[in-house]
Amino acid sequence: MSNPAYDADRTGLLLVDPYNDFLSDGGKLFPMLRDIAAEVRLLDNLRAAVASARKADIQVLYVPHRRWQPGDYENWDHPNPTQRLVQKRQTFAKGTWGGEWHPDFVPQEGDIVIHEHWGQSGFANTDLDFQLKQQGITHVIVVGLLANTCIESTSRFAMELGYHVTLVRDATAAFTKEMMRAAHELNGPTFAHEILTTAELVAALPA
């Protein structure tokens, strides 16, 4: 994992779940992320990663989780533990402030907003793979939340589909240091082609 090269025409930045509930004071999940987010300077690094991608004319794709609505998961045979918690907390509820984009990460003209994912992978039951292929994208840079769930699952799925995958260790967060270690030191090296810091990513992107 060294000297990565990113062709602007072949690279996409996947911004996963940049909701107020995750990233803003007052968000339902932000208190659980606050310490790790502060330690890695999450918001600053997300801003830098997204801004650098836009400056390099790299396609930005929003990969959002399902916005909770009444009735979600109630008649499912096998909702997973996270989905049960979403149901209980009404996380990212549609039509609420918590389910809106963080104000620093509102989609801009030219961005692509992918269909919402129900589980942890941004690919499963969405149009992400289709949209990437339509744009000719072969390399994906995955940032956002959470490191050990949606980031990992989306990135693993990308690798299985043949994409070159870059993780950015300080442009994501998790609820504990152990989860961060699992994401970047134990699991990430088994599927990611590059694991960079934001500074390393910015330096590697086209001028």
Q: What is the CATH number of the domain that holds 90?
A: 3.40.50.850
Does any domain span residue 3? no
Does any domain span residue 1? no
Cα separation values, 74 from 81, 115, 118, 167, Å: 13, 21, 14, 34
pLDDT tens column, 92-108: 999 999 999 999 999 99
Does any domain span residue 55? yes
Does any domain span residue 2? no
Asked if the model's pLDDT at residue 17 lies above 70, the reply is yes
Specify the number of domains making up the chain: 1
Range of the domain at 91: 8-204
- Three-state DSSP state, 140: strand
- With tokens 């998961």, the residue in question is 73
- Tallying the residues shown for the chain, one arrives at 207
Q: How far is 90 from 79, CA to CA, in rounded Å? A: 14
pLDDT tens column, 22-62: 999 999 999 999 999 999 999 999 999 999 999 999 999 99
Asked if the model's pLDDT at residue 200 lies above 70, the reply is yes
Asked if the model's pLDDT at residue 3 lies above 80, the reply is no
Confidence of residue 207 (pLDDT cuts 50, 70, 90): confident
Q: How far is 28 from 18, CA to CA, in rounded Å? A: 13
Helix axes 42-55, 30-40, angle to 10 degrees: 70
| Per-residue model confidence (pLDDT) at position 182 | 98
Asked if the model's pLDDT at residue 1 lies above 90, the reply is no
Strands 59-63 and 164-173: unpaired
Is the peptide bond preceding residue 13 cis, with omega within 30 degrees of 0?
no
| Per-residue model confidence (pLDDT) at position 51 | 98
| Per-residue model confidence (pLDDT) at position 2 | 59
Q: How far is 125 from 107, CA to CA, in rounded Å? A: 22
Does any domain span residue 141? yes
| Per-residue model confidence (pLDDT) at position 4 | 82
